[in-house]
Amino acid sequence: MQADHQADYIVVGAGSAGSVVAARLSENGRNRVLLLEAGGSDRRLAILMPAATMLLAITNPRYDWRFMAEPDPTRDGREDYMPRGKVLGGTSSINATSFIRGAPEDYNGWAALGCRGWDFETVLPYFRRLEDYEGGANEYRGAGGPLSVSHIRSVHPLSRALIESCVKAGMTFREDINLPPQMGVGYMQASQRKGWRHSASRAYLWPAKGRDNLRIVTHAQALGLTFEGARATGVEYLRRGRRRRATAAKAVVLCAGSFGSPQLLMLSGVGPAAHLREHGIEVRHDLPGVGENMQDHAGISQTMWVNHTTYNVQTGPLSAMVYGAQWLLTGTGPGSTPIAQVCGYRRCDPSKSRSHVQYLFSPAGYDLTEDGPEVFEKPAITGLTNLHRPYSAGTVRLASADPLKQPAIQPNLFADERDIETLILGSRFFRTVLESEPIAGYIVGEHLPGKDVQSDDEWTDYIRAHAMGVYHPAGTCKMGHDPMAVVNDSLKVHGLEGLFVADASIMPTVVSANLNATCIMIGERAAELIPASA
């Protein structure tokens, strides 16, 4: 097949990392960079207005891959909805805009596992480089970078009340939740500029689109990789019903995410040999770790009915008109809010130095269901209690050799009982917060889990029935040097040439944070490492 495009580097996926890699590799004006994205334009109201995402983008096939997980045997067969962005910017275009970097111990833990050059001291300059933090630069924060990181522009009264109750319950108030140590409670920081979503695409690709050496092809779904011997030479993809091919003189970089990157490797004959043979795929390189080690943050909702207006009841036609105009003209109001306005971290074991759970509080009533987010019709507040540092892990496998079919995603969210024990401890504490003034004065009833959930057994039953991964999948092409590692310290696929992975899938362990900031950092780091190793 004759190549439709020839480039030095092909980047597959224009998400949080892929947008960065493509933009940075093309900066020098010499590298010919081809960026393939299965979705389309991100210049849409559903993307640019942060609060519109839950209503208009998530579950919308125009912007969302709409992945569904396999029935999870550790949760009585529950099937999770798993949104992933199918649009320029990837999931950074449909996420909650939360900007959290994780704890230094996360990255020092990677280094302790043998991932050289990924300790916190080494990655911190890349975090500082990527951001334009509204609070200004210091030894931990950056200013003048591509990505705008902002404070909340319109804080809801119930968010203030929740923080006061957290402090009364013993949590420390943090002015900047991204400064070490990762502990206490504070207001969320958001990847926004003047109240508008500032995705990886808007931060990196919009300024780069005019470069002659960067070609961005949308509606281009990758089907598989091409090889000459052990070297990756290109990508076959589908666009407008036609199978096409692009070649790479230097490297192919997979940035298709924790589901897409392992799927593409396996479709191309790179992965666990026995599994590939089951689907009639010729084994090019037996790499048993591909698709293993899938980690997510297990979380549960704690939802209260309240006597104060909340954002979930401000979604009717009149509210949409009023608040839409406010957002459009001033970048403030409900339209500008990230889904969570408050973020907290807590140790469940006082003898430990690191947090075990994350609390995300929203002045809106919703639940994360098997069909996606469900917004309630009367005033409510929602707290997510999310498990960090999980012991459990799942897998991503091929459901079919057809590249247009979604992969088989098995979360195994509670394969290790210790994860349930930690969630119980974290959830009990959050209930104590909600029973404390001043937030308790607004609460008129507990919807989830309900007052009948009290004992450890009742909490366990509730968690198994209602918990889900909170849309933070990672680790399925993990970095390292053990037999199950997929990429090395330079993100190069073990045993192959000219092939790299740069996205959340390379995390050896999932970071204790929402993933977007870390993925952008990975993109920044990859753009330096790949040319030196290609």
Residues designated catalytic? 472
The phi and psi torsions of 396 (rounded to 5 degrees) equal: -120, 125
CB of 486 closer than 8 Å to CB of 478: yes
Cα separations in angstroms, 129 against 134, 142, 244, 266, 534 = 14, 6, 36, 34, 23
Region for residue 337 given its phi and psi (left: phi exceeds 0; alpha: psi -120 to 50; beta: otherwise): beta
Measured from the Cβ of residue 231, the count of other Cβ atoms closer than 10 Å reads 14
CB of 522 closer than 8 Å to CB of 18: no
Residue 446 and residue 433: Cα distance in Å, rounded?
13
Q: Which residues pair with 381 in a beta bridge?
A: 304
CB of 153 closer than 8 Å to CB of 331: yes
Reported as type and span, the H/E element at residue 358 is strand 357-362
Q: Give residue 220's Cα distance to chain centre.
A: 22
Q: Which has the closest alpha carbon to 203: 257, 154, 127, 149?
A: 149
CB of 468 closer than 8 Å to CB of 450: no
Handedness of CA 490, 495, 499, 503 (dihedral sign): negative
Three-state DSSP state, 386:
strand
Terminal-to-terminal C-alpha distance of the chain: 24
Task: Annotate 240-300 with DSSP letters as a single string.
Answer: TTEEEEEEEEEEEEE-SHHHHHHHHHHHTTEE-HHHHHHTT---SEE-TTTT--BB--EEE
Residue 195 and residue 131: Cα distance in Å, rounded?
16
The single-letter code of the amino acid at 97 is T
The single-letter code of the amino acid at 219 is H
In our burial notation (b when 16+ CB lie closer than 10 A, e otherwise), range 109-130 reads bbbebebeebbbeebbebbbbb
